[in-house]
Amino acid sequence: MAFLYSYLPQRRAIDVGANRGDVTARLLRAGFEVYAFEPYPPVFEKLQERFLKQPGFHAFPYALGALNETRQFHLADDLTDEKTYDDSTFYNSLIPHSMSEGLVFKGSIPVTVKTLADLHQSDEMPCEVGLVKIDTEGFDLEVIKGMGEYRYPVVVAE
């Protein structure tokens, strides 16, 4: 990952749907400044604790999408006896969808959704970004729509 990313023109990355920060960790090790987005409060707290003292780490407690709005964030739960899915927060989503056997959505919470275009225009985040990683359990296209006229050298979507 570090070798491939060394060819990007900007050493800034956006991690949309960062969850606990596994991709963020790799990007930070590769020398990137990372803007991580995670809307689920308990996971956001863990993400912040994990990287709080890392230089170049910026965390945002909201989701990204096509519109600035408040949406319901659907919470996944592993109902299997053996807890097959380890960490069901990986399956939380802004869009309820079908899931594997044993996983269900169990409740929802309201979360703030913002667009990448507005974050750039408000200077909350720089415009010069080399990589955007999107893993939003079915909401990826909405994140891309929220880019507006902004373009990035590499966009990785689920």
Is residue 116 within 8 Å of 148, Cβ to Cβ? yes
Phi-psi region of 135 (alpha: psi -120 to 50; beta: other; left: phi over 0): beta
Residues 103-117 have a mean pLDDT of 97
Work out whether strand 69-78 and strand 103-114 pair parallel, antiparallel, or are unpaired: antiparallel
Instruction: State residue 9's pLDDT score.
Output: 83
pLDDT over 90 at 122, yes or no: yes
Q: Work out the mean pLDDT of the chain and round it to a whole number.
A: 94
Residues 8-28 have a mean pLDDT of 94
Instruction: State residue 24's pLDDT score.
Output: 96
pLDDT over 90 at 114, yes or no: yes
Model pLDDT for residues 27-80, shown as the tens digit of each residue: 999 899 999 999 999 999 999 999 999 999 999 999 999 999 999 999 999 999
Instruction: State residue 7's pLDDT score.
Output: 78
The pTM score is 0.93
